[in-house]
Amino acid sequence: MRSSHSPDQITVCFDDDHAVADAGLILAATLAEGLMLGELVNEHVDLGGAPGAANAGDKAMTLVHSALAGGEWIDDADRLRAGSTGQVLGHRVAAPSTLGTFLRSFTWARPASSTRSPARPWPAPGRLAPARDPGR
């Protein structure tokens, strides 16, 4: 489901004294929405009935945006819940405890099933430039 707010048409203002200005997230949110990354995660990541399997796209995007904002720990994602950040990012920002449950849902048996994609919207890693001989 696409967001009802398009991040590239949002005017940013701080409505919370404790809001943190994470410059650059609006660009990342616009790119993520344009590539439909949340929808791709929802479509291609199947965690079955594992706890935390619901809304995988929102949780994955919360983790991505938290990392882009400098988050190093799951608890750092909580800063994305300040003010109206969720509206700017274009997805529901998941709570840190929910993110932990989501990440624990992945097992060693599941990585292959979560990376299957019939058509990638971008080249596979290593395919962006011709291979170079390391001896040169």
Tokens of 110: 């599941």
Which residue spans within the chain are E strands per DSSP?
none
Q: Are the CB atoms for 6 and 31 separated by under 8 Å?
A: no
List, in sequence order, the alpha helices (H) in 36-94: 37-44, 56-68, 85-89
pLDDT tens-digit readout, 57-105: 999 999 999 998 888 899 989 888 877 777 788 888 999 999 999 998 8
Q: Where are the domains of the chain?
A: 21-107
Task: Decide if pLDDT at 53 tops 60.
Answer: yes
CA dihedral 37, 43, 45, 50 (to 10 degrees): 120
Quickly state the pLDDT bin for 26 (edges 50, 70, 90): confident
Q: Residue 45: CB partners within 8 Å, gap ≥ 6?
A: 56, 60, 114
